[in-house]
A and B are shown apart, each in its own frame.
Chain A
Amino acid sequence: MSEMHAETVGYVRDTMLPEQDPPATSVGAIGWLRENLFSGWFNSVLTILSLIFIYWILSALLPWFFSPTWEATSLNECREILAEMGREGHFGGACWGVIRDRWVQLLFGFYPSGLYWRPILAFILLFVALGPVLFSDYFPGKLIWFSAIYPFLMPWLLWGGSVWTPLLVIAGLGIGYGVFRVVAAAAGNLAGIIAAVIAALAWWIFLVGPLSELIHSIIPAGLNSVDSRNFGGFMLSITIGVVAIAISLPLGIVLALGRRSDLLIVKALCVGFIEFIRGVPLITLLFVASTLLNIFMPPGTNFDIILRVIIMATLFASAYMAEVIRGGLAALPKGQYEGADSLGLDYWQAQRLIIMPQALKISIPGIVSTFIGLFKDTVLVSIIGLLDPLGLSNAIRADSDWNGIVWELYGFIALLFFIFCFGMSRYSMYLERKLQTGHR
């Protein structure tokens, strides 16, 4: 019996076998390689082809890239340095001296060098101002006040001038609000809005200029003013992009609402505008800015080319923005509209309290990608002679020291654009994920 038992025990294991390592070919580096690179002959061929491709690219680029020419002061000096090392010919090596010599110019254009802190500060504050909107988790909500002030602060920092001008422009908002309260109490809301808009516009157009000069002559306070034609390089691209997007957002909302409205004529006008702008290339709009906009304005008015470009870029962006916001509006469930109606809200209340907060939130990724697109498109201004990074690269190549430089400048410009745009697109993806979880 006991023997039997012993025999039975011999066939039954009462302890677990020690875990064995998986086969060496399916774990660790080798396993990963088998799994991801060499699963099957087709994948193996693809992998090998890819490796050859990468080697081919790197072997062409790296020797050129590592070139000890950082200190050179002209292209000829680069050539001498490379020739001493025995690296002759067109692709002997990069001439990085041009970047050392001109990188500040590529970033700031001809902005006075003593004032570089102003665009830098404006750029940093931009993130502070956008913080409550973009990274709402990490920023205290009260900072939204700063976001409201920023649109006035930024032009002042960049263009300089009397501090009273932006203050008086802000005061215009207060005046508008005051007029609204008074008139609305007397003659109703709509009349109040109309009166407020007229009062504010009159204030801005006729009074702000002389008043700010007057106060400035009494209490001078302000920054050195900088002409916008001194703007250049990446600063110009960022300025055009940020200003155009900031203004195009409200325009885009209005256009999107107009396009979805039941009012036939309003809808036709909005559709006509949007489709016209989206149907022509940006470069033709820039031709309009550079050659025609002054002809369209009353005789005698004349504002400088950068402002004209910003105007056209704004119109361009607002048409795309309208489509993005229209997409956001369309994505809202119909129940939201019906819910707002059932609460007895009127059109504007419903838009302000229910529809827009949600639609804008859904649209943020689209807005960011519109911004990326516009930011990339700012290089087109080089075609009409503005000195954005690409335009500056032509001016630098016209300098007799750097005549003949090609790749280094293009590479540097492409790298900077890549960093900006890639960062923004990553952020937009992060936001998309965040918003998605928020809805489920």
Chain B
Amino acid sequence: MTSTTDPHTESFRLSMLIYDTRYRSTTIQVVALIGFLILIGWLISNTAQNLQDLGKEPSFRFLFEPAGYDINQRLIEYTSRSSHLRAAFVGLLNTLLVAVMGCALATVLGVLIGVLRLSKNWLVSKIMTVYVEMFRNVPVLLWIVLFMAVLIETLPAPSAFRGDDPESTMKLFESVALTNRGIYVPEPLFSRSLGDVHLFGQSALNFDVSLNLLAIVAVLVAGVFVSGRIRDRADAIQNRTGVRPTTWYLRLGVVFVPLIILLVALGFHLGYPELKGFNFGGGTHMRNSLIALWLALSLYTAAFVAEIVRAGIMAVSHGQTEAAAALGLRPRRIMGLVVLPQALRVIIPPLISQYLNLTKNSSLAIAVGYMDITGTLMGVTLNQTGRELETVLLGMLIYLTISLCISLVMNWYNNRVSLVER
């Protein structure tokens, strides 16, 4: 019990490992480590024994065999003869696609709803409250299947567009078709191509990046950069002379003029969807499963984001607003210069953890047949090869990597904005 040691008896006794505070922490740690290693060893030996009984050697060779199944939404080239690894990669890209789209929409909606909940308009704030409670308190999986059912049951089938007097017509000047197989929107096309860059050579993860796209991005980035320099110069002039030169046309110009010139040079035009055979051809096809998943995840997460935004804005003390008003700032500038920067400090960390949740929830795609990493690697590949251990562990590892990347961003931001406490 006692933690005092007698300075005269320095000889080491075994009981000191437990009772001497100098050694106890080490003892506990060693015991914990040994316990952990034993546990892991036990699990591994069980697994090895069981797999041997089943006659399955753990091996990742199946990843390089032909997958044999088709995937409808593929951001990179894929056929049923491609390998399981490539199928998993297609799935991973699909996961990332819906996660990024979901985070963007959830943020926009969440901020809007969070602000509207604080609206003085009784009806609007009540509607938003109902929205938040409705979405927060029903499982997201149920929302996903409900949205899918709504899309399927309420939108017209492509066959409704057929005939001389069709039941449905395309919207927005004959450019967008809303069907229950998804939404067809015009796609950007180029009549001249600068060629493609082939990445990752012959490996299973190879893909092409269009040089056209790279060129456009490069011009856009350069334009924004130059525009930023112009703004900096205008700031400097304003600081020196007190007069701000009018630069907006210049700033718009450096971004858009080179871009438009490039687009014309590349022969940019839109490819409109039109009814061909069973389906619409041409245009970009946003599939039902993607839309249902995207909307359900965004609307669900938006309810949480709205609460975070509301709490963040309310966390900024009223004295800040009043002090800013006393300085003579206009309401818009108060929001932009005083309230939002402080609210963001409160909002961003939980917001990022909502992004994390959304990314993880995107694994429910399997319920609507969206082929994400859960649907490909841990779905069809698992079913076809019977390699549960390898596929599930690999899938978990991939999700873990994504999560850790998001966590790193969060920590970096937290460290950057955290207040230095007195």
Contacts and interface: CB of A to CB of B under 8 A. Distances in A.
- A and B found bound together: yes
Interface of A: 36-37, 39, 43, 46-47, 50-51, 53-54, 90, 188-191, 262-266, 269, 275-276, 278-284, 287-288, 291-292, 294-299, 372, 376-377, 379-380, 382-383, 390, 406-407, 410, 413-414, 417-418, 420-422, 425
Select the residue from A43, A275, A287 with max chain B CB neighbours within 10 A: A287
A36 B122 contact: yes
Contact of A269 (B1, B30, B36): B36
B124 A46 contact: yes
Select the residue from A191, A265, A377, A421 with max chain B CB neighbours within 10 A: A265
Interface string B366-409: 11000000100010001000001100100110011001100100
Assign chain B's interface to a size class.
Answer: 35 or more
A280 B374 contact: no
Given A287-B392, A414-B142, A295 B46 contact: yes
A407 B153 CA distance: 10
Contact of B400 (A265, A276, A372): A276
Nearest to A91: B153
Contacts of A275: 403-404, 407
A417 B360 CA distance: 21
Contact of B392 (A190, A292, A382): A292
Given A279-B403, A284-B363, A284-B378, A414 B146 contact: yes
A189 B1 contact: yes
A376 B139 contact: yes
Contacts of A406: 149, 153
A51 B123 CA distance: 8
Contacts of A380: 141, 364
A413 B143 CA distance: 11
B414 interface: no
Nearest to A389: B142
A280 B403 contact: yes
The 6 closest A-B pairs by CB, nearest first: A279-B403, A36-B122, A421-B137, A281-B363, A281-B360, A291-B388
Nearest to B51: A295
B49 interface: yes
Given A280-B360, A284-B363, A422-B137, A262 B25 contact: yes
Given A282-B360, A421-B138, A422-B137, 20 more contacts: A43-B121, A46-B121, A188-B1, A188-B19, A190-B19, A262-B25, A265-B29, A269-B32, A279-B404, A280-B400, A284-B378, A284-B399, A291-B382, A295-B50, A298-B46, A379-B139, A407-B149, A410-B146, A418-B134, A420-B137
Given A278-B403, A284-B363, A418 B138 contact: yes
B378 A287 contact: yes
B33 interface: yes
Given A295-B46, A380-B141, A283 B127 contact: no
A43 B400 contact: no
A284 B398 CA distance: 11
A437 B361 CA distance: 36
11 contacts: A39-B120, A46-B119, A47-B123, A279-B399, A282-B360, A292-B388, A298-B49, A379-B141, A379-B142, A413-B142, A422-B137
